[in-house]
Amino acid sequence: MDRRRQLAQLGLATGVYKTLVKYLVGVPQVLLDFIRQINDDDGPMEEQRQRYGPPLYSLTVMVLLIRLFISLAWGRFEAKKLTRDQVAVLEQAVDVYTNELERFLSFISEVFANSPFFISAEAVGALEARNNDDYKEVNIPAGKTHEVSLSVESVNSYIAWDFSLTQGKMNMDIGFSVECTDPSGQKALILPYRRYESDQGNFSTCISGNYKFIWDNSYSAFFKKVLRYKVDCIPPVVEPVQSAGETDA
């Protein structure tokens, strides 16, 4: 129950923590909603447990009794062997358990297969694609670059990016680097130039300033690149400051 409660709280995450889970960890919103709903105290899993749990618990008790009987019989095997009637009862109990368990598993599989709160991975992907409004798409001509700047006012902010190239018959790559210009005008290379087909990453800022993301297609003489990207800056989490009255209390 504690694990379910923690999962439900994860689905209810808000603010900066929710952004970190969604963006940096890569958990889509539709999955967060599913985690919250499926693990809620009044959610569908609790309803299924109350409705279909008792038959499964009865089968569990039955197989434990069968195991107990076998253990006791095995422990006394040297002193007293099982009679034919006892063996027959044991065989009948095992057959009943096996048949009832198969029936239950077949039934519960059909129940969950037709449950409205389960959706396919394809449906999740389609939903997430419709909700991906933060992504932008740009054509970068041959011999050109594309730059995106983020103004960061606080240290310990999280900067994150995610990008990929739309691929055709030929696999394409593009140069990518990140640099920072501090308030005094000094430049610093944050991420060295390297060529990627796609990349995702993040880091915590050490200085404030202007962070520039550079996608470089200058080395290509003929091919333009279709870039789909998302960049974001998440401000640091500031702990609430207690007032003097609250501290004294």
pLDDT in tens, 42-65: 666 777 778 888 888 899 999 999
Cα separation, 152 vs 235, whole angstroms: 8
8 A C-beta contact, residue 47 and residue 41: no
Residue linked to tokens 């197989």: 63
- pLDDT per residue over 196-229, tens digit each? 999 988 888 888 999 999 999 999 888 899 999 9
Please tell me the predicted confidence (pLDDT) of residue 43. 65
User: Distance of CA 238 to CAs 12, 152, 241, 243, Å?
Assistant: 20, 16, 9, 15
pTM: 0.49
- C-alpha atoms less than 13 angstroms from C-alpha of 197 in its C-beta half-sphere: 6
Question: Residue 87: enclosing H or E segment and its boundaries?
Answer: helix 84-113
In the 8-state DSSP scheme, what is residue 247? H
* Contact residues for 120 (Cβ-Cβ < 8 A; gap 6+): none
Query: What phi, psi does 153 have (nearest 5°)?
Result: -95, -20
Architecture, CATH, for domain 135-234:
Sandwich (2.60)
Find the DSSP H helices in 114-243.
121-131
In the predicted model, what is the mean pLDDT of residues 159-170?
83
Number of H helices, E strands in the chain: 7, 8
CB 144 within 8 A of CB 223: no
* Banded model confidence at residue 232, pLDDT cuts 50, 70, 90: confident
H or E element, residue 95: helix 84-113
**Least reliable range by pLDDT among 37-41, 173-177, 216-220, 227-231:** 37-41
Answer for the pair 50, 26: CB distance below 8 angstroms, yes or no: no
Q: Domain limits of the chain?
A: 2-113, 135-234
Q: Which two tokens stand for residue 149?
A: 């700047």
Mean of the per-residue pLDDT values of the chain: 77
